[in-house]
Amino acid sequence: MLNKKARVYFSCFMLILGTLIGFLLSKWSEIGSLGWREPDVITLTVRMPENGSLPSRMIYGKPDIAKAPRRDVMVLSPWLAPIVWAGTFNRDLLMEEFQHKKYRIGLTVTAIGKYVKLLKKFLESTERYFMKGGMVTYYVFTDRPDKVKALSLEVNRPLKIITVPKYPTWGHVVLGRMEILKNQSEVLFQQEVDYVVSLDVDMVLFSHIGVEILGELVSVIHPGYYHSPRKDLPYERRPASQAFIPEDEGDFYYQANFFVGTVQRIYQLATACYEGIVKDKANDIQAVVYEESHFNKYLVYNKPTKLLSPEYIWMNNLWRLKDIRIKRIVHGEKKF
């Protein structure tokens, strides 16, 4: 009799335990991934309309000092530069500051030779996603101004075509870009813009890119190397080149196809790279990744004040890793 009762209790206990385990298992993926699945918009921002004499104001949740914006990735470099990832910022708050100061942004893009054909698609995407609500001027560096005009580009922001030399090879173009940036920073940008943004023309924007990218000197961590150890980063390691970085130095590997800065910082960066390139040429050496090697060298000793995560230059041939929540730009698909 007692045994029968015990069996009933045991069965009930097992049933409850089984239900409990089943429930926990069904929730496991959610519980296990909570660390990297916070919503992108952390705070809901509401703008209160102007009310009589009171100015309009923003209402948003108080930042919680105990709550890290992301726990799966580094959001602050060892030299205290923020690293921008989805989920780490509130664009409305940044816009408030931006509109207050009325910054002027120059978006520069090089389209030399057949690369002119990529300009239309590039600009269609920047019109849609680049710096909405910002004061943007496009600067197109090209050897074929007539071909650019013939594209009948429909853009709602001013577009300036700057004629540059017809550099004979791909290598001359990418190295020459630093020379162009240096020259234009001296003569044009310092009068016309506050921030310069330099992008490759073989890019298509897929998500909004806004004021979160602005800073004194901003570079993007290369999506192909962001989990790589230092020894695997493709820095120039030959001491004979001006782009040389010793084996035991270097922070991240940055891509030279997207960088941002104030006119003065861009001028300094471009000048340093240009001078390194000229010296290398005189010494008959070519840095391993062309201007990008000089760019990386500069940034080891002149640390960026802000870093953009690899979300900002994703490539379709890379695996989508769990720390990449958003593809903001896809780069490198060239259809001429």
Residues comprising the binding site for Mn(2+)?
200, 202
Task: Between 90 and 257, name the residue whose CB sits nearer to ligand UDP.
Answer: 257
Interaction partner, residue 201 (Mn ion, ligand UDP, none; CB < 5-8 Å by kind) = ligand UDP
Q: How far is CA 273 from CA 168, 174, 250, 287, 290, in A?
A: 20, 11, 17, 11, 10
Active-site residue set: 292
Query: To which H or E segment does residue 84 belong?
Result: strand 83-84
Task: Between 118 and 263, name the residue whose CB sits nearer to Mn ion.
Answer: 118
Q: Min. distance of Cβ 203 from Mn ion in angstroms?
A: 7
Q: Min. distance of Cβ 286 from Mn ion in angstroms?
A: 18
Task: Between 200 and 251, name the residue whose CB sits nearer to Mn ion.
Answer: 200
Interaction partner, residue 115 (Mn ion, ligand UDP, none; CB < 5-8 Å by kind) = ligand UDP
Contacting residue, 200, 236, 291, 311, with Mn ion by CB under 5 A: 200
| Binding status of residue 202 toward Mn ion by CB under 5 A | yes
Among candidates 328, 33, 53, which has minimal Cα distance to 204? 328
Q: From the CB of residue 208, how many other CB atoms can be counted at a distance below 10 Å?
A: 14
Cβ-closest position to Mn ion: 200
Q: Min. distance of Cβ 100 from ligand UDP in angstroms?
A: 33
Task: Between 10 and 170, name the residue whose CB sits nearer to ligand UDP.
Answer: 170
Q: How large is the C-alpha radius of gyration of the chain?
A: 25
**DSSP of 33-77:** HGGG---S--S--EEEPPBTTBPPEEE-PPP-TTS-S-SSS--B-
Please tell me the distance from the alpha carbon of residue 37 to that of residue 71, in angstroms, as a whole number. 10
Task: Between 214 and 329, name the residue whose CB sits nearer to Mn ion.
Answer: 329
Q: Min. distance of Cβ 235 from ligand UDP in angstroms?
A: 16
Q: Min. distance of Cβ 173 from ligand UDP in angstroms?
A: 4
Interaction partner, residue 224 (ligand UDP, Mn ion, none; CB < 5-8 Å by kind) = none
Interaction partner, residue 111 (Mn ion, ligand UDP, none; CB < 5-8 Å by kind) = ligand UDP
Among candidates 128, 285, 90, which has minimal Cα distance to 205? 128
Binding residues: 115, 200-202, 222, 292
Q: Which two tokens stand for residue 260?
A: 């941002």
- What residues contact 218, with CB distance under 8 A and at least 6 apart? 259, 260, 261, 304, 305, 306, 307, 308
Interaction partner, residue 174 (ligand UDP, Mn ion, none; CB < 5-8 Å by kind) = ligand UDP
**DSSP of 109-141:** EE--GGGGGGHHHHHHHHHHHBSTTSEEEEEEE
Strand partners, 230: none
Query: Which residues bind to Mn ion, rule: CB under 5 A?
Result: 200, 202, 257
